[in-house]
Amino acid sequence: MRYLITTSIPYVNDDPHIGHLYEFVLADIFARYYRNLNKEVFFLSGTDENGIKIAKSAVEAGKNIKDFVDEKYNKFFELKDKFFLSFDHFIRTSSEEHKKAVYKFWQLCQEDIYLNNYSGYYCYSCEAYYDEKDIKDLICPLHKKKLEKIEEKNYFFKLTKYLDEIKNLIEQERIKIYPQEKKLEILNILKVGEIRDLSISRDSKRSYGWGIPVPRDSQQVIYVWFDALINYLSGLGFGSEDETIFKKFWNEGEIIHFIGKDIVKFHAIYWPAMLLSAKIKIPEKIVVHYFINIKGEKMSKTIGNVISPNDLLEKFQAEEIRAYLAHQTIFNDWDFNFQNLRDFKEGILKKEIGNLILRIFGLLKKAPLKINLNNNLLKEISSKIKRDFNFYINNNFEINLAYLIAFDLVKEINNFIDQKKIWNNLTDENLSTIIINLFEILNYYRPLMPQKIEEIIKKIEIDNNFYLNKEIDLSPLF
């Protein structure tokens, strides 16, 4: 089985914050999980670098647009090494490789594209139009900013042509949306029937010429969402001379999009319609994570409560942050504060997981040089934990619940050591049990803390089902 794991691509009008990091880490953990099962995985992310909002942000900052975009891109891309993100490719939508893909895709959709006049109220932060009936006092419902009346000639995509088919695909779960409430939300939008054809271009003057020009019409640039969604294809080589990776992972793999809850409509309605028009396979799964709040409020520069990845790294190690994020509820908004992260580190990571690993290696210093791994007295318990863990990961994508279950094995091993008083009973079956279940613990937590766990695994030697008990000294993990 092959998997294509993607994140949405963050808009580079501003610096990265903890919400961007959360999505990157979630998707990375799933990519590592599947790789640990010896599945082929391509993990794709990138940056969304076109659009009027980015051009305006650069101009307001007094910077050249390209220089501004390059600077922001670097801040996102450097998270890869800082947080052990295993991207196979990080696509930039201002790149030539992406532009080629967009032009090929536009051509494939040509029969569903037409020119028409457009009039509506525009939010530059949303990069979207609103109908007057959907807004109050001409204020954007999301960004609380005054909307601007825009009248211009645009190219349109026949979105309405595909709505019934998309509805059927979602109802039949050929497109699976997680959690269920987001599936119902999209079906309700489709049922209401107010979606119109999509404006997919903007007057290039409004974007200061920044963006991908419409083919054979340089007065228009392609609408940022129509352009940006195609990153899922361009990042695989679609539109290039060599489309091997695209064919291997898009056409022949299972596609899993990880996105935030504010962009579900774009991924569950617009994107499938675009793919149906281009006669390209639709994605199988869309996993919608919820938001991180600060003291119950959405992060906002105006309020001054934005937390950056670098703010976190000043106080904690990258793998501590990764593990903490994985333990938070994926399908509900949750509140971040530094004390909770500190408590998680000192409790779950240091006192429980870290100390258990150190405790086991301490016990093994008194054990024989060769231990036969032929017995697992916790087999029934550990097998159930593995089944439940894999169920929550594979069937529901509820990573936080999966790791609550994995933590049960940590508690079971500690109880086993105490009840058996293993320091006085270094029998083969006792030692075999703790070593076999140590391996399970390392496998569970490897996607969360890849560097720390990998360092331990490299020190362990197995030969023909025997654990070779050499001296292993570990410093405290946290």
- For the record, the structure tokens of 4 come out as 């294509």
Q: Which of 191, 205, 301, 384 is catalytic?
A: 301
- For the record, the structure tokens of 444 come out as 């569970």
Q: Which of 298, 351, 366, 459 is catalytic?
A: 298
CA distances from 28 to 6, 285, 303, 317, 356 (A): 9, 16, 30, 17, 26
The whole-angstrom separation of Cα 285 and Cα 306 is 30
Q: Which of 66, 143, 379, 459 is catalytic?
A: 143
Whether the bond into 450 is cis, omega within 30 of 0:
no
DSSP assignment string, 125-177: TTTEEE-GGG-BTTB-TTT--B-EEEEEEEEEE-GGGGHHHHHHHHHTTSSEE
The residues, ordered by sequence, that sit 6+ positions from 393 with a Cβ below 8 Å of its Cβ are: 30, 33, 399, 402
CA distances from 160 to 131, 167, 174, 273 (A): 17, 11, 19, 9
- The partner residues of 298 in beta bridges, in order of sequence, read 293
Q: Which of 104, 126, 248, 285 is catalytic?
A: 126
The whole-angstrom separation of Cα 260 and Cα 408 is 29
Q: Which of 56, 140, 182, 345 is catalytic?
A: 140
Three-state SS at 473: coil
Place of tokens 């991924």: 267
Buried b (16+ CB within 10 A) or exposed e, 421-439: ebeeeeeeebbbbbbbbbe
Active site annotation includes 123: yes
Active site annotation includes 109: no
Active site annotation includes 301: yes
Cα radius of gyration (the chain): 25
Looking at the chain, how many residues does it have?
A: 478
Active site annotation includes 298: yes
Active site annotation includes 20: yes
Q: Which of 56, 72, 123, 257 is catalytic?
A: 123
- For the record, the structure tokens of 108 come out as 């494939």
Active site annotation includes 98: no
Hey, which residues are catalytic here? 17, 20, 123, 126, 140, 143, 298, 301
